[in-house]
A and B are shown apart, each in its own frame.
Chain A
Amino acid sequence: MTGAGPLTYREACRQALIEALESDPRVFMMGEDIGAYGGCYAVTKGLLEQFGPERVRDTPLAESGFTGAGIGAAMVGMRPIVELMTCNFSLLALDQIMNSAATLAHMSGGQFAVPLVIRMATGAGRRVAAQHSHSLEGWFAHIPGVKVLAPAVIEDARYMLGPALADPNPVLIFEHVMLYNDTGPHDPSVTEVDISSAAVRREGSDVTLVTYGGSLRKCLAAAGQLAEERISADVIDLRILRPLDSATVLESVRRTRRCVIVDEAWRSGSIAAEIGMRIAEEAFFDLDAPLRRVCSAEVPVPYAPAMEDAALPQVDDIVGTVRQLLGKS
């Protein structure tokens, strides 16, 4: 399954789904256009033919209805994978996720767990304007009772689903739309990953770049450019936005003594704000410079290419912010 030819992020997601459906009869999928159409990002292509309409269920346009149905099915023994076409439409299912999936275990005094996986595409960059370009994973990471995953690399796209399905809690997986065609690099010897820890994707000693999802590539590119200027950046991929692995972030920041957080979501009330605050609480005296953030401009994401690019964090913004932090601008 691994190794031969360049594996795309999309194909990694697809292989993960195939493995899940093959290995556990309790697993089934529900979502809009996942079957006959093959998935709006082609992630579920061929699954209907392989597994049939009972396990790959095309749903009508009823996000709240079929997300709630996923919760109910999970409560009685199934392992549903609900696909919300994109996080933009997840808002129509927000009540079910927040008021039901996230609360039922606690409200019932631990009588019921909700072992449900919900996948959705997230992020901007495809010139599809405001209503199709949100990054809402930080919102969901606000909710106690759910876990939030953001696979940024091929290995995670391929192997996070297994532990997500094995988890007794609702797990939300956010796949960045700009990553589906990504081909790596990836390590074919990796055949499993955890869903509990952040990963150091590049080691460095002058500054820590904390990021996740679609912004990881930008941070790695920025770190490459900075290296040419003899600035060495540690790049941390959060991977899991709830529960946050603060320890990995703090360990790095204590070493580098500087931190820039890169997040495609809006800055106000964001996961970037949360990371920054945790560093301020736990490692304030280890810092040599103020914390910095590179986030999206606080506008609805616009359509026109130059406008959209200006709204999103770019490699140059990251490089510039790091230079400034080190007094090298």
Chain B
Amino acid sequence: MIDKPHLDRAHLLEMLEGMLRIRLFEARCVELYQAQKILGFLHLYDGQEAVSVGVIGSLGPEDAVVATYREHGQALARGLGMDVLMAEMLGMEQGCCRGRGGSMHIFDAGTRFYGGNAIVGAGLPLAVGIALGDSMMRRDAVTACFFGDGAVDEGEFHESLSLAALWQLPVLFVCENNLYSMGMALERATAEPDIAKKAAAYAMPAEVVDGMDVVAVELATGRALEHIRAGQGPAFLECRTYRFRAHSMFDAQSYRTREEVAAWREKDPIVRLRGWMEDAGLLHEGEYAAMESRIRADIDAAVAWAESGSPESPANLMKFVTMDHVPQEGQAS
């Protein structure tokens, strides 16, 4: 049983930096959106960073990740370059999906990152299939599947948990319960807002974890992975978290109060870890600022690289509608 937090300084610094990278990267995305360089929908992860960093940091390169349209955090935590991510959002040929996906559809075969799914709930069956395929091919891999509290009300949530448990598949279901699906508050959407309880009904261990505490998320992930890797089937984490900003770039926020947002901002996972490390003498004078400027330099470089790319040409419009070979094969082995 894993119950000891992994609290050495280097590791904590890594997690702090991982969360800050996501936060600052998205802050730049907002600027580019306002400058109308990033278009369409842009769903920010602001406030939820501890979930991706805590979960994905615990995975190995052989594992797979399935995410939603709010997936910049997962993509960066998984190790996708800020450059190809930014180029994708700018619609460039150099983007990870050659400008066909945009913010909501980030894919990367190299890190086994299977999207980037903008249909609520649709990633869950996919994750079950990836885990099924991996286990039939005798790969020792876990598929981490991220989704929101809104997805819990979709039929696919129930179908997928049921199948994964029935077939004892190595899936880590990660529900990011930020209390809202767009403007629909969880307790207005369901008579049973205890999501972990629903998951447990499908015969798998389901744990509720403070999603604003990266150390707690990492610990819970470790316990879940231990269960899955022992061949005992799927596990479920309900990470209680909060998005600080609008659902997509702008909404009137008529569905929640300023006080509620302010109260959750008090629990900001980055502020919290930073403060805790400072108090414990694990973050030295000037280190945070240095971290911040290092990340900003990375972002500047990524944006410059992305902007110098070439917009994917409409001459390639029909490319990849159907394929003449299976490109991913030979990579996942």
Contact = CB atoms under 8 A, between A and B. Distances in A.
Contacts of A71: 125-126, 129
- The interface centre, meaning the residue of A65, A78, A104, A145 with most chain B CB atoms within 10 A of its CB, is A65
Contacts of B328: 75-77, 111-113
B173 interface: no
Interface string B90-121: 00000111111100010111000011110100
Contacts of B122: 68, 95-96, 99-100
B133 A78 contact: yes
Contacts of B166: 60
B109 A69 contact: no
Most buried by B among A71, A80, A107: A107
Contacts of A69: 125-126, 128-129, 132, 160, 163
Interface in A101-115: 104-113, 115
Interface stretch (B27-35, B232-240, B316-324): B316-324
B126 A168 contact: no
Contact of B133 (A67, A73, A147, A169): A73
Interface residues of B, number: 51
Given A65-B163, A113-B323, A115-B326, A70 B156 contact: no
B104 to A, nearest CB: 9
A59 interface: yes
Nearest to A108: B107
Given A107-B116, A113-B323, A77 B332 contact: yes
A104 to B, nearest CB: 7
Contacts, number: 168
A111 B112 CA distance: 11
Contacts of A100: 117, 119, 122, 126
B332 A107 contact: no
A65 B125 contact: yes
B187 to A, nearest CB: 26
Contacts of B155: 64
Contact of B100 (A26, A77, A107): A107
Interface string B26-63: 00000000000000000000000000000000000000
B98 A110 contact: yes
A67 B130 contact: no
B320 A168 contact: no
Interface in B128-166: 128-134, 136-137, 155-156, 159-160, 162-163, 166
B159 A64 contact: yes
B76 interface: no
A75 B116 CA distance: 15
B286 interface: no
A54 interface: yes
Given A75-B114, A77-B329, A107 B107 contact: yes
A72 B107 contact: no
Contacts of B100: 106-109
A84 B327 CA distance: 27
A68 B327 contact: no
Contact of B323 (A64, A76, A107, A110): A110
Given A59-B163, A75-B130, A109 B96 contact: yes
A57 B155 CA distance: 21
Nearest to B130: A72
Contacts of B163: 59-60, 62, 65-66, 69
Contacts of B160: 65, 68-69
Contacts of B329: 77
A78 B109 contact: no
Contacts of A73: 129-130, 132-133, 136
A107 B166 CA distance: 31
Contacts of A169: 322-323
B82 interface: no
A222 interface: no
B22 interface: no
Contacts of B116: 107-108
B321 A75 contact: no
Contacts of B4: none
B326 A113 contact: yes
Nearest to B101: A107
25 contacts: A57-B167, A62-B162, A68-B126, A69-B132, A73-B132, A76-B64, A76-B130, A76-B133, A76-B137, A78-B132, A100-B117, A106-B100, A107-B101, A108-B105, A109-B107, A110-B327, A111-B96, A111-B108, A113-B323, A113-B325, A144-B322, A168-B323, A168-B324, A168-B326, A169-B322
7 shortest interchain CB distances as A-B pairs: A72-B129, A68-B125, A65-B159, A109-B98, A73-B133, A69-B129, A108-B107
